[in-house]
Chains A and B, each alone.
Chain A
Amino acid sequence: MWDYTDKVREHFLNPRNVGEVEEPDGVSEVGSIACGDALKLTFKLDENKRIKDAKFKTFGCASAIASASALTEMIKGMTIEEAEKVTNQDIAEYLGGLPQEKMHCSVMGREALEAAIAYYKGTPEKAVDGQIVCECFGVTDREIERAIRENHLKTLEEVTNYTKAGGGCGSCHDSIQELLDRVRLEMESRPASKPRLSNIQKIRMIEETIDREIRPSLKLDGGDIALIDVIGDRVIVATRGACASCQAANMTLKHFVESKLRELVWPELVVEEESQ
Chain B
Amino acid sequence: MKTIYLDNNATTRVAPEVLEVMLPYFHELYGNPSSMHSFGGQVGRDLSVAREQVAALLGASPDEIIFTSCGSESDNAAIRSALASQPGKRHIVTSRVEHPAVKALCAQLTTEGFRVTELPVDAEGRLDMDLYRKSLTPDTAIVSLMWANNETGVIFPIEKAAEFARSRGIVFHTDAVQAVGKIPIDLSKTAIDMLSISGHKLHAPKGIGVLYVRRGTRFWPFLIGGHQEKGRRGGTENTPSIIGLGKACSLAAQNMEAENTRVKQLRDKLENELRAVIPNSRVNGDRGSRLPNTSNISFEFVEGEAILLMMDQFGICASSGSACTSGSLQPSHVLRAMGVPFTMAHGSIRFSLSVYNTDEEIDFVIEKLPPIIETLRSLSPYWKAGRQAATG
Contacts and interface: CB of A to CB of B under 8 A. Distances in A.
B124 interface: no
A33 B324 CA distance: 13
Given A12-B306, A136-B330, 6 more contacts: A9-B309, A15-B379, A59-B303, A62-B309, A64-B303, A168-B329
Contacts of A38: 381-382
B264 interface: no
Interface in B332-354: 342-343, 346
Contact of A36 (B303, B309, B380): B303
B380 A59 contact: yes
Contact of A13 (B303, B304, B305, B313): B313
A13 B314 CA distance: 13
B379 A33 contact: no
A60 B303 contact: yes
Interface in A145-194: 160, 164, 167-168
A38 B386 CA distance: 15
Interface string B306-318: 1001100100000
B318 to A, nearest CB: 13
10 contacts: A13-B310, A29-B381, A33-B346, A37-B324, A38-B382, A61-B303, A65-B306, A136-B329, A164-B329, A168-B329
A67 to B, nearest CB: 13
B313 A59 contact: no
Contacts of B329: 35-36, 136-137, 160, 164, 167-168
Contacts of A18: 378-379
Contact of B306 (A35, A61, A160, A168): A61
What bracket does the count of chain A residues touching chain B fall in? 20 to 34
For chain B, what secondary structure do more than half of its interface residues adopt (helix, strand, loop), or is it mixed?
loop
Nearest to A134: B329
B253 to A, nearest CB: 34
A199 B380 CA distance: 61
Contacts of B313: 13
B324 A61 contact: yes
A57 B302 CA distance: 12
For chain A, what secondary structure do more than half of its interface residues adopt (helix, strand, loop), or is it mixed?
mixed
A129 to B, nearest CB: 21
Nearest to B346: A36
A72 interface: no
Contacts of B310: 13
A35 to B, nearest CB: 8
B378 A33 contact: no
A58 interface: yes
B295 interface: no
The 4 closest A-B pairs by CB, nearest first: A167-B329, A36-B323, A61-B324, A57-B381
B303 A37 contact: yes
A34 interface: yes
A40 B310 CA distance: 22
Nearest to B347: A59
B381 A58 contact: yes
Interface of A: 2, 9, 12-13, 15, 18, 29, 33-40, 57-62, 64-65, 102, 136-137, 160, 164, 167-168
A155 B259 CA distance: 48
B322 interface: yes
A167 B326 CA distance: 11
B328 interface: yes
A137 B331 CA distance: 13
A171 to B, nearest CB: 13
Contacts of B342: 33-34, 36
B380 A58 contact: yes
B301 interface: yes
Contacts of A65: 306, 379
A102 B305 CA distance: 12
B305 A62 contact: yes
A167 B303 contact: no
Given A36-B329, A167-B330, A12 B380 contact: no
A9 B304 CA distance: 16
B301 A168 contact: no
B300 to A, nearest CB: 10
A20 to B, nearest CB: 9
A19 to B, nearest CB: 9
A160 B329 CA distance: 9
B377 to A, nearest CB: 9
Nearest to B377: A59
Contacts of A61: 303-306, 322, 324
Contacts of A35: 323, 329
Contacts of A59: 301-303, 346, 379-382
Nearest to B302: A59
Given A13-B313, A59-B302, A60-B303, A168 B330 contact: yes
Contacts of B301: 33, 59
B331 A36 contact: yes
A64 B322 CA distance: 14
A58 B346 contact: no
Contacts of A58: 379-381
Contacts of A39: 381
Nearest to A32: B342
Contacts of B330: 36, 136, 167-168
Contacts of A9: 309
A39 to B, nearest CB: 8
Contacts of B381: 29, 38-40, 57-59
A15 B379 CA distance: 9
B343 A33 contact: yes
Nearest to B310: A13
Contacts of A164: 329
B52 to A, nearest CB: 39
